[in-house]
Chains A and B, each alone.
Chain A
């Protein structure tokens, strides 16, 4: 789960293209703010605008997801940010600078762009693709080479193996990684992604999403990400903008708030069934109570196992292997039948979860494990504790309750500021400074 947006956004570094910045660090420029003001796109020949009067403020270092039904204008809105599509009206500001009228080539150099089909140039090697933007901005050869290797490393590809390959020699998921590496190569403060993981299989997509989360924790770019997959939005977004036709914002809020308090029927329709289940994706096992249960190891004498089971007052005990990893669940009956050897007794532990697993994974494990609980393991698979059904249920109830309170408070805040604004406007009678 992505961290909450930083309380005080990191200062928007100047997006210098120059050669002077320290090499060796992966990112010198943290995210920049993006402000969209009355942004509108009217395609020639069509009556209604495709994007109608969008106002949005995106904080520096934040990941914002646009979701909405097909054709609602997500891509059009996104592409207006780097002016691949020229707006018919409104302003765009990045890091406070009005970029609506600057040279689009200059604008795009500080806005990374990654698309669904990866958009890699098939006639260039991986290294050439990634090094393209740095080369155009006049970096030195050695620095480009370093940067390319660093970027490959960043997206989890071994430079030695992949540098010289052509895109067609890569799998879909690898192409997508290289696409992201290229978008980040010149260290832009802003990254735009249009359904980047739309064309890969669900397992690879899951991996790529995890990678993006990890990457973002390291880089703190401002990311605007388009998808029509609400689960993807929940997983990746600090905030989600649910868009309806003509890019009208139905709700723009944190995943938690949207799940627990959808603004209207359109949003709840889009959230779909099982909001509570989806909420499980937003919390990790480390956030809930992990209980301890009696354990023994395979080297423990049988009699001692009996004793600890009796002493614990539970009907079950967890047998660990020599590396302290969960191995088998032993019940009283199993021990009775064991007849001196544990080789055949008990049921194997089939599914464990780590502390980083989502509660949804934990629930899955609890439901499949024969004992009705799941063992939690550490980095090397060693036993830490267990989560059970009851803990999970209580946590989810608590979470939902918290979310609801927060959403109410949030709503209350909004109303107060809004009424304060109206009040101020009426008082001053001068709305000249405000946007119409």
Chain B
């Protein structure tokens, strides 16, 4: 069976897997973004806390994804929970790091001006610092998403959802007629999803980054 024939006959299954893949990555990114920005906001003002947050994030990232999921299974069981936890943790670092860099990069003259005209701490954060730090944060989110696309495939190992199932099935039956097609379909599917997400981020950037600071 050729690759195209394979795709045509199994497109129902492939679409379901792709949808679940996209869905889990999206949801984990939402959580990772919220958490990451929160961590960034609470730590960027202290050199010490900021560095701790970034270092902890980097260390998390060095744990091989397979090992991370393997370690999570005895704690939270199989299926969706270990997948979501692992993806969220991996997704944190780029967001946290870029949030800290972005917030620290805001011109001190601007924060002083904001204080000088009588903005409260919260108003400064919401109306001045975060909007100015938003472009690097969005870049962080983009990088995270790309990374999670690949890592999410490993989740199939813990019976998680997504296109990883396709790949793992292929690997398990290497030598059989459709093994290669399965691996290929999963991989191509992930690449297409990654490109679609990236396009979406470009659009989000257009809509959310002020024209005054857009490159």
Contacts and interface: CB of A to CB of B under 8 A. Distances in A.
A124 B210 contact: yes
B115 A84 contact: yes
B81 interface: no
Nearest to A123: B210
Interface size class of A (residues with CB under 8 A): 20 to 34
B112 A119 contact: yes
B109 A84 contact: no
A167 interface: yes
Given A125-B212, A167-B212, A117 B119 contact: no
A221 to B, nearest CB: 15
A43 interface: no
Contact of B112 (A107, A115, A168, A183): A115
Interface in B185-215: 210-213
A109 B210 CA distance: 26
A122 interface: yes
A121 B109 CA distance: 10
Contacts of A113: 113, 116-117
A182 B123 CA distance: 17
A166 B211 CA distance: 8
Contact of A108 (B117, B127, B212): B117
Contacts of B116: 82, 84, 108, 113, 115, 119, 192
Interface in A111-144: 112-113, 115-117, 119-125, 132-133, 136
B4 to A, nearest CB: 48
A122 B119 contact: no
28 contacts: A82-B116, A84-B112, A84-B115, A84-B116, A105-B118, A105-B119, A107-B118, A108-B118, A112-B117, A115-B112, A115-B116, A116-B109, A119-B109, A119-B113, A119-B116, A121-B127, A121-B132, A122-B212, A123-B132, A123-B213, A132-B117, A132-B127, A133-B117, A136-B118, A136-B119, A166-B211, A166-B212, A182-B117
Given A84-B116, A107-B118, A115-B112, 20 more contacts: A82-B116, A105-B118, A109-B118, A115-B113, A115-B116, A116-B109, A117-B109, A119-B109, A119-B110, A119-B116, A121-B127, A121-B128, A123-B212, A123-B213, A132-B127, A136-B119, A166-B210, A166-B212, A182-B117, A192-B116
Interface of B: 109-110, 112-120, 123, 127-128, 131-132, 210-213
